[in-house]
């Protein structure tokens, strides 16, 4: 077992053909050690079976993710308030179109549908759609 504490969480490091690292996402406490070992073993098993270990997808609504992004953007663009206002305005229509769709299910096709919706329903110019 190659478990170790890093930044207050259990992490593991293994070597198959190359060194691989991962985090269990569990707090580095004695109580979580057995669960962290189990996660590490599942990771190794997945590699031995020739599969790619995948991260679990956290399902988030687009509207929730957009609100979090706008909170970040407000702080990030505080010296460039016009940029933040443009982003916020652009997200108003995106939130209306995507609404409660899960972010992980938004693909190129849905984005093309959004662009067509903006062009046909709202009759915005192409430069506005690109922005």
Q: How does pLDDT run across 60-78, given as a tens digit for each residue? A: 999 999 999 999 999 999 9
56 to each of 3, 39, 61, 101, 114, how far by Cα in Å?
20, 13, 16, 18, 27
Total structural domains within the chain: 2
What is the pLDDT, as a whole number, of residue 1?
52
Q: Which residues pair with 15 in a beta bridge?
A: 19
pLDDT tens, residue by residue, 113-130: 999 999 998 898 988 888
Give every CB contact of residue 105 below 8 A, 6+ residues apart in sequence. Answer: none
Establish if 55 belongs to a structural domain: no
Residue ranges in the chain assigned as alpha helix (H): 30-48, 62-76, 81-98, 108-121, 126-130
Quote the percentage of the chain above a pLDDT of 90.
43
What is the pLDDT, as a whole number, of residue 83?
93
**71 lies in the same domain as 116:** yes
**17 lies in the same domain as 40:** yes
Query: In this structure, are residues 12 and 36 in contact, taking their beta carbons and an 8 Å threshold?
Result: yes
pLDDT above 80: residue 14: no
């Amino acid at each position: 077992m190659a478990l170790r504490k890093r930044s207050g969480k259990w992490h593991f490091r293994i070597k198959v053909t190359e060194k691989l690292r991962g985090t269990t996402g569990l707090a580095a406490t004695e109580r979580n050690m057995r669960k962290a070992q189990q996660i590490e073993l599942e990771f190794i098993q997945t590699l031995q079976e020739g599969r790619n270990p995948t991260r679990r997808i956290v399902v988030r609504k687009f509207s929730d993710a957009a609100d979090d992004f706008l909170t970040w953007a407000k702080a990030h663009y505080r010296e460039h308030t016009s940029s933040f206002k443009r982003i916020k305005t652009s997200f108003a229509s995106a939130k209306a179109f995507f609404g409660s769709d899960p972010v992980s299910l938004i693909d190129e096709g849905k984005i093309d549908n959004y662009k067509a919706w903006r062009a046909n329903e709202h009759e915005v110019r192409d430069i506005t759609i690109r922005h």
